[in-house]
Amino acid sequence: MHYVSNGSGKLIVFAHGFPEFWYEWKNQLAEFGRDHLAVAPDLRGYNLTEKPEGVEQYRVNILIEDLRALASHLGHEKFTLVAHDWGGAVAWAFALAYPQLLEKLVIINAPHPGVFARLLQSNAGQQHASQYMRMFTTPQAEEILSRDGYRMLSDIVLAPGLKQGYFDEADQRAYLEAWSQPGALTGGLNYYRAARLLPPPPGTPPPASELVLDTAALTVRVPTLVIWGERDSALTPANLDGLDAFVPDLTIRRVPDADHWIVHQKPALVNGYIREFVAAQARSQTI
């Protein structure tokens, strides 16, 4: 596993989403490296980390072991985990499996598995927003996303930032280089393929009965901060509704003028929320 680190002290790990890599957290590495050991890995399958063949190598039960092994390698029994998008999906699962290893959990625009499964079954808005996932699981996904010099990924991730000024040409080069690593695009897409959690096709009749979930098995027993850019076109704010049923010690920070890429758009705000939360005693509040 390739990772970038900064500083010393208590461990704080930053887990990126799709189609990013450790570089998503460059601003956080600089900020939290002042008083923590701040570590941002390339997750399995991405950029410079190994890319095992086979979709089964990207099951969430394997992905959480990567994080556990990283913390152990770094010599820390407990740590704070900060995660976005697919990194957040892995982080939710890690918190469910290993609550004793986490001091705090910070989730940024990544749905809790119980809430998301329910929305995919019954919420038309989230079903529509998630249709891209169906394409991502097809054999054609790599060709579609990489054609014309990764034009589709660039349009989704980089173009808004280049236009608005939170990305520059150096950032663009870094992302194109990471996407171009042999096997990296397949590695990232295998997270979707392994999850086997897709929205129904458009026009599918609603289910006859509501999805029944084991709330106890999906309860996160770690102090948790959720930061949510409410303009996210892929993950609707409905993912926050009923979240407190699964996360008893929950703090939510809604950001109305940010979207899925809030980590890049508002790094100072994100850093401030994380610092406030890491320093605070356990409590539950929503803002």
Active site residue 58: no
Whether 260 is a known active-site residue: answer yes
From the list 16, 84, 112, 260, the catalytic residue is 260
Is 264 one of the annotated active-site residues of the chain?
no
Active-site residue identified among 84, 85, 191, 264:
85
Q: Which of 58, 150, 192, 273 is catalytic?
A: 192
Q: How many CB atoms lie within 10 A of CB 184?
A: 21
The C-alpha atoms of residue 223 and residue 238 are separated, in whole angstroms, by 21
Would you please indicate which residues are annotated as catalytic (active-site) residues? 85, 192, 260
